[in-house]
Amino acid sequence: MSIFRSGLLIVIAVMGLLQAPGSHAGEYLVDTSGAHACVNFKFDHLGIGRITGGFRKFSGSFFYDPENVEISWVEVEIEMASLDSNQATRDRNIRSSFFA
């Protein structure tokens, strides 16, 4: 699963939560100050393990209208240097020009 697809699944989950009764149309900011939002990833490594991690610095906003879902949108900006896979050497390698 690609990092983009993982992030998209998170966004879809957020949008699903907003369909709860009482949701109001409007533009919202992604809450990055608490534990309400995250950008995580996971992928298989060499067919024998799984790498998990996330991006610690991101921001975003979205518009949601429960009466007209088709006009909803999401915008997220991710600081790629904030990648954290819980292994410093791997993170340096991923951030290197080799993967750019």
* Pick from 68, 65, 80: nearest CA to 7: 80
pLDDT of residue 4: 47
The answer, yes or no, to whether residue 6 has pLDDT greater than 80, is no
pLDDT confidence tier of residue 84, bands split at 50, 70 and 90: very high
The pLDDT of 67-82, averaged and rounded, is: 90
pLDDT confidence tier of residue 82, bands split at 50, 70 and 90: very high
Say whether 35 sits in a helix, a strand or coil: coil
Query: Who contacts 45 (Cβ-Cβ below 8 Å, separation ≥6)?
Result: 51
> Is the alpha carbon torsion for 31, 61, 4, 12 positive or negative?
positive
pLDDT of residue 14: 54
Please give the Cα distance from 2 to 6 (Å, whole number). Answer: 6
**What residue segments make up the domains of the chain, in order of their start?**
3-99
Topology of 3-99 in CATH?
Lipocalin (2.40.128)
pLDDT digits (tens, 9 = 90+) for 10-59: 554 555 545 555 568 888 888 777 777 888 888 888 888 888 899 999 99
Q: If you search the block for the tokens 């340096």, which residue do you land on?
A: 92
Please give the Cα distance from 28 to 8 (Å, whole number). Answer: 17
